[in-house]
Amino acid sequence: MRRSVALTAIATIGLTGSVFASQIAPENVTFVDDIEVPISLTGQAGDAAKGREWYAGRKLGNCLACHATTDLNELPFHGEVGPAMDGVADRYEEAQLRAILVNSKKVFGDQTIMPGFYVVNPGARTAGDFQGQTIMSAQQIEDVIAYLKTLTE
Amino acid sequence: MKCGGKGSLRWGAGLALASLLVGAGAAYGEPNDNKLVIDGQTLTTEAAAPEGVELDKLYSGWRFRSPETQELQTDDFENPAMVAVDQGAELWGTVDGSAGKSCMSCHGEAEASMKGVRAGYPKWSDKRGKPHTLETQINECRTDRMEADAWKWESSNMLGMTAFVGLQSRGMPVKVQTDGPMAQWHAKGKELYFTRVGQLNMSCANCHQENYGKMIRADHLSQGHINGFPVYRLKWGGLGSSHRRFKGCMENIRATPFKRGSDEFVALELYLASRGAGLSVETPSVRN
């Protein structure tokens, strides 16, 4: 009985990507001083190669839309709304990168244009398919963090 | 900035290269300084920001486009929207509906009677108790005066007619009423402009007030003025209304869009028109 209740609870989390029992739900992410999220969202190591894909993918992170990145020079159309990500690993700790990705507004304030990638229904009128969904899954966030950590100068 | 970035490509010598450039940081940066002259008439693409609008200066969206796209608008023989204008001109004189009238039956030659009309819409209607857009005004004429069927918002007939009527105001400054009964519509539009929506949680202001001039992926962000609508958009391969563009923006940020002609989009259209007050009407404009 206890087992089936636990399974139901996991099933109803309904996030994109794989769901691990140890995964931290968006509403349960713990920020330290509003600038750090020290604990991995999944307990699984991030995959930098996959993170590079999510970072560039238009339907996923689409980070490149705003952040120019020399490491991705093979791709066209780097944005300039946000700062370039070259050397970002020298500027931020892993826990800070996680905090920024999960909910940039905690770190930079409400005025930032940057979306929170692990927040549910932040804006009004969220379209049907995206209601209750985060932009990236917990594991995708960890993968992107792993990728960002390779961007040293 | 290591990857090329601003300054690596400047207007002038690099123009021919611009359309070929696909590398990182192919940034156009600021609005360019080109002048919009059509048939010897110079249009105002830069103006002082109206009171209450937090922009240093107004720039027409034309100033953010590539020289290739810009050129399509400077010559009416090149402008792909002119096919629709011709369609509108023909409809103007065509009798339709059981009253046996055409637009011309009441309004005469559009070149005289429609001059300045586009520049003042949306406009308050006592009869409706709300503002008219050019589309709803045209449909009111059709149903009430001509006793003809209303046109759909995005139909080729409606786009042809709004383009044709709009052309009669080309070069005249946008100026809409924002006081009196329009004040609450203006306020509503302003509220919508600054409201963050969708999964990406962004407002119009985030891109078009705070980040205009910058590249967002392949798009060069403009200030989002609507002085050129209906616009021939290369991406659409045809004309579209401002409400179609609003809908596209909302979908991009993963929000459920309002409907064309909804009170929300009418209010937003009014507010945007007021933000662009002083820019020339460019209808029909060409954008990418």
Question: pLDDT, tens digit, for every residue of A28-43?
Answer: 999 999 999 999 999 9
> A43-79: per-residue pLDDT in tens?
999 999 999 999 999 999 999 999 999 999 999 999 9
Query: Cα distance from A73 to chain B (closest Cα, Å)?
Result: 6
Say which of A64, A77, A123 has its CB closest to residue B199.
A123
Range B42-58 average pLDDT: 97
Crossing angle of the two packed helices B263-275 and B242-252, in degrees rounded to 10: 100
Which of A60, A77, A88, A108 is most worth mutating to test chain B (most B CB atoms within 10 A of its CB)?
A77
Same domain, B235 and B266: yes
- Which residues are within 8 A (CB) of B237 and not within 5 positions of it... i.e. 6 or more apart? none
E strand or H helix that includes residue B268:
helix B263-275
B270 with B186: CB under 8 angstroms? yes
Same domain, B193 and B50: yes
pLDDT for residue B185: 98
A78 touching B (Cβ < 8 Å) = yes
Q: Is pLDDT of A19 > 80?
A: no
Closest CA to B284 of B48, B88, B136: B88
A123 touching B (Cβ < 8 Å) = yes
ipTM: 0.85
Q: Name every chain A residue with its beta carbon within 8 A of the beta carbon of B195.
A: 124
Burial class (CB in 10 A: 0-12, 13-18, 19+), B167: buried
Q: Which of the 8 DSSP states describes residue B172?
A: S
pLDDT for residue A21: 58
Same domain, B73 and B94: no
- Which residues are within 8 A (CB) of B2 and not within 5 positions of it... i.e. 6 or more apart? A70, A84, A86
Query: Cα distance from B115 to chain A (closest Cα, Å)?
Result: 39
Q: Is pLDDT of A17 > 70?
A: no
Q: pLDDT band for position B122 (50/70/90)?
A: very high
Say which of B24, B27, B201 has its CB closest to residue A73.
B24
Q: Do A68 and B214 touch (CB under 8 A)?
A: no
Same domain, B199 and B260: yes
A113 touching B (Cβ < 8 Å) = yes
Same domain, B125 and B157: yes
A147 with A55: CB under 8 angstroms? yes
Range B167-193 average pLDDT: 98
Q: Name every chain B residue with its beta carbon within 8 A of the beta carbon of A119.
A: 201
Same domain, B180 and B282: yes
Same domain, B113 and B235: no
pLDDT for residue B12: 33
Domain-ending residue, one of B136, B167, B198: B167
Query: Cα distance from B233 to chain A (closest Cα, Å)?
Result: 20
Q: Name every chain B residue with its beta carbon within 8 A of the beta carbon of A62.
A: 217
Q: Do B201 and A77 touch (CB under 8 A)?
A: no
Closest CA to A137 of A66, A44, A7, A49: A44
Tell me which residues of chain B have a C-beta less than 8 Å from any C-beta of chain A.
1-3, 5-6, 22-27, 195-202, 206-207, 210-211, 214-218, 221, 250-251, 253-256
Q: Is pLDDT of B26 > 70?
A: no
Query: Cα distance from B205 to chain A (closest Cα, Å)?
Result: 10
Say which of A77, A86, A126 has its CB closest to residue B198.
A126
Q: pLDDT band for position A149 (50/70/90)?
A: very high
Domains delineated in chain A: 2-148 (1.10.760.10)
Q: Do A126 and B255 touch (CB under 8 A)?
A: yes
* Residue A45 zone, left/alpha/beta (φ > 0; ψ -120 to 50; rest): beta
Same domain, B133 and B2: no
pLDDT for residue B23: 35
B207 part of the active site: no
pLDDT for residue A1: 37
Q: Do B3 and A64 touch (CB under 8 A)?
A: no
Place of tokens 């400047």: B10
Same domain, B55 and B105: no
Q: pLDDT band for position B2 (50/70/90)?
A: very low
Q: pLDDT band for position A3 (50/70/90)?
A: very low
B237 vs B10 pLDDT, higher one: B237
B3 with A70: CB under 8 angstroms? yes
Q: Is pLDDT of A11 > 90?
A: no
Give the mean pLDDT of chain B: 91
A66 touching B (Cβ < 8 Å) = yes
d(CA A33, CA A48): 27
The number of folded domains in chain B is 3
Radius of gyration of chain A (CA): 16
Q: Name every chain A residue with its beta carbon within 8 A of the beta carbon of B9.
A: none
Tell me which of B103, B141, B204, B249 is the catalytic residue. Answer: B249
- Which residues are within 8 A (CB) of B200 and not within 5 positions of it... i.e. 6 or more apart? A115, A123, A135, B252, B253, B254
Closest CA to A93 of A83, A101, A105: A101
Q: pLDDT band for position A22 (50/70/90)?
A: confident
Range B193-201 average pLDDT: 97
B287 with B234: CB under 8 angstroms? yes
pLDDT for residue A136: 97
Q: pLDDT band for position B30 (50/70/90)?
A: confident
Q: Regarding beta strands B215-216 and B130-132, do their DSSP bridges make them parallel or antiparallel, or are they unpaired?
A: unpaired
Same domain, B130 and B176: no
Which of A60, A113, A129, A133 is most worth mutating to test chain B (most B CB atoms within 10 A of its CB)?
A113
Q: pLDDT band for position B169 (50/70/90)?
A: very high
Same domain, B184 and B231: yes
Same domain, B20 and B35: no
Least confident range from A7-21, B99-113, B203-217, B259-273: namely A7-21
d(CA B57, CA B77): 31
- The parent domain of residue B61 ranges over 28-78+172-287
Domain-ending residue, one of B167, B199, B224: B167
Q: pLDDT band for position A81 (50/70/90)?
A: very high
Residue B260 maps to which CATH number? 1.10.760.10
E strand or H helix that includes residue A139:
helix A138-148
> B220-263: per-residue pLDDT in tens?
999 999 999 999 999 999 999 999 999 999 999 999 999 999 99
Domain-ending residue, one of B112, B135, B167: B167
pLDDT for residue B29: 63
Q: Do A75 and B24 touch (CB under 8 A)?
A: yes
Which value, to the nearest 10 degrees, does the dihedral of the CA atoms of residues A107, A109, A115, A121 take? 100
Query: Cα distance from B155 to chain A (closest Cα, Å)?
Result: 25
* Cα dist from B221 to B61, B164, B207, whole Å: 9, 28, 7
